[in-house]
Amino acid sequence: MTSNHALFDYVLGSEEERSRRPMSAPYRRRYKETNYPTLPELIVGAKPGRTRREQMTFHHNLSAGIQFAAVGYLVYRYARDNGLGKELPLEWFQQEIRN
């Protein structure tokens, strides 16, 4: 997903987990709106990209780390499909959220 919005308002998890997410003004202030062209706008020509050779492409990454989850899944799938690695207990990676 590509956006200039400062903070997406959708959250995964149960209703209880979502209710624990900080959404106060000080928390939301950490995320600033931008006015950069998005990748889809550049691709379809709705907004101009670079106009001179000397210009640089800037990637303003406002993600929540979804790229790490995507790559992690690919690594996991490769290891699983090739009989590599060792299963680890899920409990090692879970915690109770305390806010």
Query: The tokens 């997903």 sit on which residue?
Result: 1
User: CA-CA distance, 11 to 37, in Å (whole number)?
Assistant: 25
Q: How many domains does the chain have?
A: 1
- 9 lies in some domain: no
Whether 8 has a pLDDT exceeding 70, the answer reads no
Residue 45, classed as helix, strand or coil, is coil
- 25 lies in some domain: yes
pLDDT tens digits along 64-94: 677 788 899 999 999 999 999 998 899 898 8
- 83 lies in some domain: yes
Task: Tell me the residue range of the domain where 36 lies.
Answer: 15-93
- Give pTM, 2 decimals: 0.36
